[in-house]
């Protein structure tokens, strides 16, 4: 009905419309990076700290910013001065916005390659997303997949979380071969292929990190990339396991104080959602250290990798493992940002068209996941935009997937979902009404300013955890047929 390219152009034009809208601090972050990479020599990149938004992405991204800054000069040279912290001229805004729109074409290209039926709209906060990795593997070009993924890792190290899936998949399906029963043929081990992959990955990393090894700056670079000084949770709790953990802790401490089980002195002041990135300790439950989160996320990934290893059913199992890795890191990771949920939703959308069961999870997850991003765009002018976008994508997903899987609309539930799931999803409506209007009418915004945030993240984390478990069960039970004979 609507041509692909006109869709792409239309979405770009729509993004252009959002030019005067709210810019998050990420806007300043990227402007600062432009300035750093443009006006400083490479050896100072990871040491510069005039602005609080220091460069904390891998080198390729820095080079990418450097490339962008070559064009930025044409718009406004002022934005490329490191001293101009929080500089926001009209030309700067225009340039940044255009850079997002143009680099989004990479994403559009990825989607095109995948022949997707729909474009899942990423929410804009002046964020450059490169999600190039998935389609390449679908084309069976494993070598180039390795190359692209290694490159991607050097763009944005957050993708390290899903690296295990890539590693296992390439090892299992490229270095080794399967026999007709789907079992691994140990003898098919190909040392050449392993070396080939290794060379590619090492080459990419050398290219990226090489200059900094020569400069002997690796420790500094790593300390920038992995800032464990930040707290367990982001200012707004991402809807994951730790959100639940926090709320249980909070509940225990409140009831504990009421029942006078322990004295008030021990209770740290309740500033967990205080808005700033900071550390805090739990009051009743044991506090969490980075190591624990690392162990938990690894443990949560292992079964999925095992499933992938034992019964690889082509790309589908790979994408599932990828999603499960992303889920694991999202659930238990240290200082997880709520935007990371996109790493789950986008690969899920790739699966949704093929299988009904995946579609069910995708619908549930995309609705609740996108809703969980609402607090990010908290300014009032943006509220109608985010609501319209959510309604638009959700309705579109439901309508088109109901069509694809020939599922009818009924009065008791949304298509493809059970009644309880539907009720949960519709529960978002009263929640949003409360947090945007009801909270102010009740006059609680002075005494309990963070209650809506807390409610949102707890409500969403229930859904996300549910999805995670359901998806794990699905991946486990949905074995290929030949696997069941043994």
Q: What letter would DSSP give residue 115? A: T
218 binds another protein (CB under 8 A): no
> What 3-state DSSP class applies to 144?
helix
440 binds another protein (CB under 8 A): no
380 binds another protein (CB under 8 A): yes
Contacts of 222 (CB under 8 A, 6+ apart): none
Binder to another protein among 277, 388, 420, 444 (CB under 8 A)?
388
CB of 22 to another protein, least distance (A): 9
Question: Is the CB of 41 or the CB of 384 nearer to another protein?
Answer: 384
384 binds another protein (CB under 8 A): yes
Question: Is the CB of 66 or the CB of 385 nearer to another protein?
Answer: 385
109 binds another protein (CB under 8 A): no
Beta-ladder partners of 177: 185
Query: Are residues 377 and 386 in contact, defined by beta-carbon separation less than 8 angstroms?
Result: yes
399 binds another protein (CB under 8 A): yes
Provide the H-helix boundaries in 436-480: 439-441, 451-477
442 binds another protein (CB under 8 A): no
Q: Three-state SS across 182-208?
A: CCEEHHHCCHHHHHHHHHHHHHHHHHH
Residue 115, phi-psi category: left (phi > 0), alpha (psi -120 to 50), beta (remainder): left
385 binds another protein (CB under 8 A): yes
Sketch the per residue contact string, 8 through 37, with another protein: x for CB under 8 A, - otherwise. Answer: -xx--xx-xxxxxx----------------
Query: Are residues 367 and 425 in contact, defined by beta-carbon separation less than 8 angstroms?
Result: yes
Query: Are residues 76 and 89 in contact, defined by beta-carbon separation less than 8 angstroms?
Result: yes
CB of 441 to another protein, least distance (A): 12
465 binds another protein (CB under 8 A): no
Beta-ladder partners of 74: none
CA distances from 93 to 32, 76, 98, 156, 376 (A): 13, 10, 8, 23, 19
Question: Is the CB of 54 or the CB of 400 nearer to another protein?
Answer: 400
Cα 296–480–110 angle (5° rounding)?
70
Question: Is the CB of 423 or the CB of 469 nearer to another protein?
Answer: 423
CB of 26 to another protein, least distance (A): 18
Binder to another protein among 3, 41, 219, 443 (CB under 8 A)?
3
Structure tokens at 66: 């450097």
Q: How far apart are CA 337 and CA 281, in angstroms?
A: 19
CB of 93 to another protein, least distance (A): 11
Question: Is the CB of 149 or the CB of 398 nearer to another protein?
Answer: 398
Binder to another protein among 73, 261, 395, 469 (CB under 8 A)?
395
Task: Judge residue 126's burial from the number of C-beta atoms within 10 Å of its C-beta, 0-12 exposed, 13-18 middle, 19 or more buried.
Answer: buried
Q: How far apart are CA 456 and CA 177, in angstroms?
A: 47
Question: Is the CB of 273 or the CB of 349 nearer to another protein?
Answer: 349
Kindly indicate which of the ranges 65-73, 193-201, 388-396, 461-469 contains the residues binding another protein, using the contact rule CB under 8 A: 388-396
Cα 164–205–146 angle (5° rounding)?
45
443 binds another protein (CB under 8 A): no
Helix (H) or strand (E) holding 416: none
Question: Is the CB of 190 or the CB of 379 nearer to another protein?
Answer: 379
Kindly indicate which of the ranges 148-156, 287-295, 309-317, 406-414 contains the residues binding another protein, using the contact rule CB under 8 A: 406-414
Question: Is the CB of 296 or the CB of 414 nearer to another protein?
Answer: 414
Binder to another protein among 73, 105, 391, 442 (CB under 8 A)?
391
State the residues that interact with another protein by CB under 8 A.
Answer: 1-3, 6, 9-10, 13-14, 16-21, 380-381, 384-385, 388-389, 391-392, 395-396, 398-399, 402-403, 408-410
């Amino acid at each position: 009905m609507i041509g692909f390219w006109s869709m792409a152009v239309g979405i770009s034009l729509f993004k252009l419309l959002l030019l005067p809208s709210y810019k998050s601090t990420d806007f300043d972050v990227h402007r600062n990076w432009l300035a750093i990479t443009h006006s400083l020599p490479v050896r100072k990149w990871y040491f510069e700290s005039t602005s609080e938004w220091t460069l904390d992405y891998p080198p390729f991204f820095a080079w990418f910013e450097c490339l962008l800054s070559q064009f930025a000069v044409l718009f406004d040279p002022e934005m490329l001065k490191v001293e101009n912290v929080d500089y926001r001229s009209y030309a700067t805004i225009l340039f940044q916005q255009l850079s997002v729109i143009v680099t989004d074409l990479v994403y559009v290209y990825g989607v095109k390659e995948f022949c997707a039926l729909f474009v899942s709209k990423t929410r804009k906060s002046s964020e450059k997303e490169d999600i190039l990795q998935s389609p390449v593997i679908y084309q069976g070009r494993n070598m180039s997949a390795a190359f692209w993924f290694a490159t991607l890792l050097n763009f944005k190290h957050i993708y390290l979380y899903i690296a295990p899936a890539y590693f296992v998949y390439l090892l299992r399906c490229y270095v080794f071969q399967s026999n007709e029963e789907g079992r691994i043929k140990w003898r098919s081990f190909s040392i050449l292929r392993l070396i080939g992959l290794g060379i590619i990955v090492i080459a990419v990393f050398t290219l990226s990190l090489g200059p900094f090894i020569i400069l002997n700056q690796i420790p500094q670079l790593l300390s920038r990339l992995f800032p464990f000084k930040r707290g367990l949770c982001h200012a707004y709790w991402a809807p994951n396991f730790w959100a639940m953990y926090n709320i249980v802790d909070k509940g225990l401490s409140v009831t504990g104080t009421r029942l006078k089980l322990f004295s008030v002195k021990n209770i740290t002041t309740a500033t967990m959602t205080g808005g700033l990135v900071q550390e805090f300790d739990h009051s009743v439950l044991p506090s969490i250290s980075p190591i624990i989160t690392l162990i938990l996320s690894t443990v949560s990934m292992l079964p999925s990798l095992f499933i992938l290893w034992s019964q690889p059913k082509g790309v589908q199992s790979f994408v599932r493992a990828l999603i499960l890795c992303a889920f694991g890191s999202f659930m238990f990771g240290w200082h997880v940002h709520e935007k990371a949920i996109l790493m789950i939703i986008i690969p899920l959308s790739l699966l949704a068209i093929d299988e009904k069961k995946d579609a069910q999870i995708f619908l549930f997850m995309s609705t609740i996941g996108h809703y969980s991003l609402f607090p990010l765009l908290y300014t009032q002018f943006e509220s109608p935009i985010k609501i319209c976008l959510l309604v638009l994508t959700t309705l579109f997903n439901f309508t088109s997937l109901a069509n694809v899987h020939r599922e009818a609309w009924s009065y008791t539930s949304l298509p493809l979902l059970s009644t309880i799931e539907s009720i949960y999803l519709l529960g978002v409506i009263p929640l949003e009404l409360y947090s945007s209007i009801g909270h102010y009418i009740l006059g609680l915004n002075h005494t309990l300013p963070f209650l809506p945030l807390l409610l949102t993240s707890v409500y969403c984390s229930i859904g996300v955890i549910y999805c995670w478990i359901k998806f794990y069960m699905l991946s486990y039970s949905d074995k290929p047929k030949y696997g069941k004979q043994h």
